[in-house]
């Protein structure tokens, strides 16, 4: 794999986003073209439900949203640092991405409002309730706001469990984007994406039970679920 395979779809598609009436579709096309260049061997298990408004996944790497957005057009909530990524950041907001500073209550509230507004407006969305990446051996504590809001809206959601035997796939801690990207470009990386059974708010007595069902669905097999926060 080469840098050309990454830069070409980015430089070819992202400038069109400013004039696009369907930026999430443009982002979906960008993800579909970028994914093969990253050297990922993606195995899809089950049936991704493109008729449902929300997908919910555990979070291992910055590549996760690229993988899932390659399957259908949708927006998501991204950490504020994404706005500074080379080539990508300047266009990401135009594609339906909402940025959040996780340490700022005001920023979290604004991102949650934008997320709910997108769902109410009929736009499909992707949510990573951990709000951060892990090595895949456990779930991080959940930020509950998004799932609580979706429960209040009465919208169904499909959980997706991501896993990889490749130790270099997770992007955690103080790692920076470009060194991690270089490793991906030089290595074939298997990634398993399990499409699990959809969850409907009406099947749960309260938001706590709804959130607990997502923790159970997304947790690594035989891994204890952590406390929520």
What pTM does this model have? 0.84
- Angle of CA points 186, 88, 191, to nearest 5°: 40
Q: What are phi and psi of 45, to 5 degrees?
A: -105, 135
**C-alpha–C-alpha distance, residues 52 and 160, integer Å:** 13
**Exposure string (b/e) for 206-222, b if CB count within 10 Å is 16 or more?**
ebeebbebbbebbbbee
Residue 81's closest CA among 105, 47, 107? 107
Number of Cβ atoms within 10 Å of the Cβ of 63:
24
Task: Name the DSSP class of 103.
Answer: T
pLDDT at 226: 46
pLDDT tens for the chain, 229 residues: list them.
444 444 444 545 555 554 555 777 877 887 888 888 888 899 999 999 999 999 999 999 988 998 999 999 998 877 656 656 555 555 565 665 667 776 777 878 888 888 899 899 999 999 999 988 999 999 999 999 999 999 999 999 999 999 999 988 998 867 677 777 777 877 889 999 999 999 999 999 999 999 999 999 999 986 444 444 4
Q: What are phi and psi of 76, to 5 degrees?
A: -160, 175
Q: In this structure, are residues 97 and 109 in contact, taking their beta carbons and an 8 Å threshold? A: no
Q: Is 151 exposed, middle or buried (0-12, 13-18, 19+ CB in 10 A)?
A: buried
Q: In this structure, are residues 194 and 46 in contact, taking their beta carbons and an 8 Å threshold? A: yes
pLDDT at 3: 40
pLDDT at 115: 87
**C-alpha–C-alpha distance, residues 43 and 40, integer Å:** 9
What is the dotted CATH code of the domain comprising 3-218?
3.40.1130
Q: In this structure, are residues 153 and 120 in contact, taking their beta carbons and an 8 Å threshold? A: yes
pLDDT at 202: 96
Domain ranges of the chain: 3-218
pLDDT at 18: 45
- Extract the runs of DSSP E, i.e. beta strands, from the chain: 40-45, 54-57, 75-79, 97-100, 125-127, 157-163, 189-195
pLDDT at 199: 98
């Amino acid at each position: 794999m080469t840098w050309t395979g990454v830069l070409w779809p980015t430089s070819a598609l992202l400038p069109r986003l400013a004039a696009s009436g369907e930026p999430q579709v443009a982002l979906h096309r960008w993800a579909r073209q970028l994914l093969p260049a990253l050297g990922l061997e993606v195995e899809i298990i089950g049936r991704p439900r493109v008729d449902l408004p929300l997908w919910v996944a555990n979070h291992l790497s910055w590549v996760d949203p690229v993988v899932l957005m390659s399957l259908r057009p949708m927006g998501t909530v991204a950490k504020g640092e994404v706005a500074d990524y080379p080539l990508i950041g300047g266009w990401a907001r135009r594609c339906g991405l909402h940025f959040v500073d996780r340490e700022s209550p005001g920023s979290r509230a604004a991102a949650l409002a934008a997320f709910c507004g997108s769902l109410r407006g009929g736009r499909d969305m992707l949510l990573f309730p951990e709000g951060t990446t892990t090595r895949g051996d456990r779930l991080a504590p959940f930020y509950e706001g998004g799932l609580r809001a979706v429960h209040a809206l009465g919208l169904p959601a499909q959980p997706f469990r991501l896993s990889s035997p490749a130790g270099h796939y997770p992007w955690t801690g103080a790692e920076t984007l470009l060194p991690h990207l270089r490793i991906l470009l030089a290595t074939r990386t298997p990634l398993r994406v399990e499409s699990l059974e959809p969850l409907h708010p009406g099947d749960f007595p309260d938001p706590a039970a709804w959130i607990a069902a997502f923790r159970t669905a997304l947790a690594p097999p035989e891994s204890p679920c952590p406390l929520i926060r």
